[in-house]
């Protein structure tokens, strides 16, 4: 094998850990049903499981599972009120995801700029 640089020889920057940490957030967002729930909840009002189920084609139990997955990713939060369990949007982790996408985009733009400079000189 030639002594060509391998991928890892460049020593991945520490910032990568932040990127990799957002994988669960993206995974939670990677489902239409959950995106719908997010869209409904980020309209502001905390809603019960029954309310969130009405208007969908799936069962209450399926909705519950999706809400739990969103909660594990930190994208929603629940508050128990009487016999109801109200769910509300939690924006912190979404901001984290936005920062990750911006970091990728920035790195890409930087690579393009460097390439352009190399071509023009």
Partner DNA sequence: TTAAAATGCAACCAGGAGGTAGCATATGAA
Partner DNA sequence: TTCATATGCTACCTCCTGGTTGCATTTTAA
Is 84 a residue that touches DNA (CB under 7 A)?
yes
Selection from its own copies, DNA, none that 77 binds (CB < 5 to 8 A by kind) is: none
Residues in Cβ contact with 15 at an 8 Å cutoff, skipping those fewer than 6 apart: 103
User: Residue 104 touches which of DNA, its own copies, none (CB < 5 to 8 A by kind)?
Assistant: its own copies
Token pair for 3: 């002594």
- E strands, the chain, in order: 47-48, 76-81, 84-89
Query: Is residue 107 within the footprint of DNA (CB under 7 A)?
Result: no
- Please name the helix (run of DSSP H) or strand (run of DSSP E) that holds residue 97, with its range, or none: helix 92-120
Q: Does the footprint of DNA cover residue 62 (CB under 7 A)?
A: yes
Q: Can you give the binding site for DNA, defined by CB under 7 A?
A: 1, 27, 30-31, 33, 48-51, 57-62, 64-66, 69, 82-86
């Amino acid at each position: 094998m030639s002594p060509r640089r391998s991928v890892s020889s460049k020593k991945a920057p520490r910032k990568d850990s932040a990127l990799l940490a957002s994988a669960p957030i993206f995974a939670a967002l990677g489902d239409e049903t959950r995106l719908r729930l997010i869209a409904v909840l980020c309209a502001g009002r905390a809603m019960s499981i029954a309310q969130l189920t009405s208007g969908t084609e799936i069962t209450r139990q399926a909705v519950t599972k999706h809400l739990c997955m969103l909660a594990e990713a930190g994208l929603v939060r629940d508050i128990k009120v009487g016999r109801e369990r109200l769910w509300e949007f939690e924006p912190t982790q979404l901001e984290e995801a936005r920062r990750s996408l911006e970091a990728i985009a920035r790195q890409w733009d930087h690579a393009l700029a460097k390439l352009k400079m190399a071509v023009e000189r």
